[in-house]
Structure 1
Amino acid sequence: MNNKYILKSKHLGFRNWNFCDTDKLFALNSDKEVMEFFPHLPSLEQTKEFIKRMQNQFEKNGFCYFAVDFLETEEFIGFIGIIEQTYEADFTPCVDIGWRLDKKYWNKGYASEGAKRCLEFAFEDKKLESIKAIAPEINLKSRKVMEKIGMKYVKDFKHPALINDKKLETCVLYEINKEYFSQEKL
């Protein structure tokens, strides 16, 4: 499998999506532990729509939540990247960073490694000024990654897509700007 990677980090290759990723992403989306902080498991059709949305974002902006392969094996392990968010909130539209990895790759530093590489791409290549991150307040794993990559807590808010889900509706907003990221790299 000769993937053309848009970005690479030490262990990870970031690429655009293709439809042969559908079954692998659907399997990841069907893992209840991976999807613990989401209101439902996406259907196969929703998984296909997600891939199409990422392809469209990439075509429009040159970025998306990239499909991520573990370089050593070229195995698909999930996604990490940045996308435009336009849902109704006082901080949107914005560019948000996100990740979802197969649990066999958890607790090895890959989410942080990949997210740092995507921040570098966002600030240095795409010349973005600031990146946000959003997660349900109770998602301590994602919050830990946000903090590990230098993001700062901004506030809690009620996510409009989760308003009827008492467990998930209160979300946190984190942010990092280009200037702070550049200083951190020194």
Structure 2
Amino acid sequence: MPDALTLEGARLRLRPWRLEDRAPLAALNADPDVMRHFPAPLNRAESDAWMDRLEAHFARHGWGFWAVERQGTPGLIGTVGLMTIPWEAEFTPAVEIGWRIAAAHQRQGYAEEAARLSLDAGFGRIGLAEILAFTVPANAPSWLLMAKLGMRPTGTFEHPRLPEGHPLRTHLLYRLSRQAWMGSARAERVTA
């Protein structure tokens, strides 16, 4: 089992999961506002099963969707990170980046900071060549963040885990290559 990465940012710590994260993660996953662009909020059993999958991904790879907390302030405010996509599509196998931040902590730049830490790790220590992201067209905050991160839209796809005719089945697909990320990171260092 590889050692699990912990990522440190200016305001945030992205760390592996702990037993005490189950209740706050369940509250996050049950919040209709947080889950408005998903098929439905998750009940406690569904949230625990999702956390089991997140922990299994960490056990296999040493990275995944991290538990996010503010520096110096323990307590889960969300989950952000990288995950191998567990279903088949024309663009899999692949790794996605995703984020889910508690409503009280949204619109404060936390998703962006955590996503940038995740991309740095993904293209740096983890050594990925490409990272994908996807969301429904109505989720403007997410696809605007994808664009802000330098990800490029590459069309749409029908999510294979949602039935035909489901209003959330069509997803926007974004991609970012290691080369593009490293080039933008170099440009930021030069202009800073």
Question: TM range, normalised to the smaller chain?
Answer: over 0.9
- For structure 1, which runs of at least 5 residues remain unmatched after alignment? none
Partner of 1:138: 138
Question: Letter of the aligned partner of 2:79 in structure 1?
Answer: F
- Please tell me whether the aligned partners of residues 82 and 95 of structure 1 are also in contact (alpha carbons under 8 angstroms): yes
TM-score (norm 1): 0.94
> How many equivalent residue pairs?
183
Partner of 2:167: 167
- For structure 2, which runs of at least 5 residues remain unmatched after alignment? 187-192
Measured at CA, do residues 165 and 17 of structure 1 come closer, stay the same or move farther in structure 2, by a change above 3 Å?
A: farther
- Please tell me whether the aligned partners of residues 5 and 62 of structure 2 are also in contact (alpha carbons under 8 angstroms): no
Partner of 1:150: 150
* C-alpha deviation, 1:169, in angstroms: 0.7
Structure 2 Cα separation of the partners of residues 70 and 12 of structure 1: 4
Partner of 2:128: 128
Partner of 1:34: 34
Structure 1 Cα separation of the partners of residues 147 and 33 of structure 2: 22
Partner of 1:15: 15
Q: In the TM superposition, what whole-angstrom CA distance separates every residue of 1:80-126 from its partner, at most 9, and x where no partner exists?
A: 00000031210011100000001111111110111011000001100
Identity %: 31
Secondary structure at the counterpart of residue 117 of structure 1:
helix
Structure 2 Cα separation of the partners of residues 99 and 87 of structure 1: 18
Compute the RMSD of aligned alpha carbons: 1.4
4+ runs deviating over 3 angstroms: none
Partner of 1:109: 109
Structure 2 Cα separation of the partners of residues 78 and 30 of structure 1: 13
